[in-house]
Amino acid sequence: MAIRITTSMSEIDALIKAETERVDKIAIQALSNLGDMCVAEARDRAQEESWFNQTGNLRSSVGYVVVAHGRIVKSSDFGTVLHGSEGSRAGKALAEERAKKYSNGYALIVVAGMNYAELVEARDNKSVLASAELLAHAEFYNVMEKLRNQVAK
């Protein structure tokens, strides 16, 4: 007795597309949650624990984008601190520039857009993104485990 497919190819295609979209949505949300944690780690600490705001540009330039299949699908707001609108613009621009390097798969890009961010970390021994990077490494496997469990549902 032969096995016959009774489901149309269009139904199979629709099911595959729906499942792909579901997994995409879950993956994007997982990376966005990790991005939010990283931005909070970098931006929301007391100035004594991080760095002192002069203009607000450095703190305003910290944010993230999530890239999926070559497109930015989610980003932080790069909210302005004090009068740091230049920092907000620089952070967004840097994140968008870095996003162009990822045409396949998923990427979380966390940036400090002001060109002196590394100097603050090196010279002043203050954490701009270093603690956020450590947090991302520490939380990555937890986030991926949650992602795996959600996808399996």
Read off the pLDDT of residues 60-77 as tens digits, 9 standing for 90 and up. 999 999 999 999 999 999
Domain for residue 3, yes or no?
no
Split into its structural domains, the chain has a count of 1
pLDDT of 138 reads: 92
Q: Which domain holds residue 131?
A: 13-148
Burial of residue 89, with CB atoms counted within 10 A of its CB: 0-12 exposed, 13-18 middle, 19 or more buried = middle
- Whole-structure pTM value: 0.85
List the pLDDT tens digit at each of the 153 positions of the chain.
688 888 888 888 888 999 889 999 999 999 999 999 999 998 887 766 666 777 889 989 999 999 999 999 999 998 888 887 888 999 999 999 999 999 999 999 999 998 888 888 887 777 888 889 999 999 988 988 998 888 887
Read off the pLDDT of residues 85-107 as tens digits, 9 standing for 90 and up. 888 999 999 999 999 999 999 99
Domain for residue 7, yes or no?
no
pLDDT of 101 reads: 96
pLDDT of 106 reads: 94
pLDDT of 7 reads: 84
Domain for residue 5, yes or no?
no
Tally Cβ neighbours within 10 Å of residue 106. Answer: 15
Domain for residue 2, yes or no?
no
Provide φ and ψ at 115, rounded to 5°.
-70, -10
Contact 63, 76 (CB under 8 A): yes
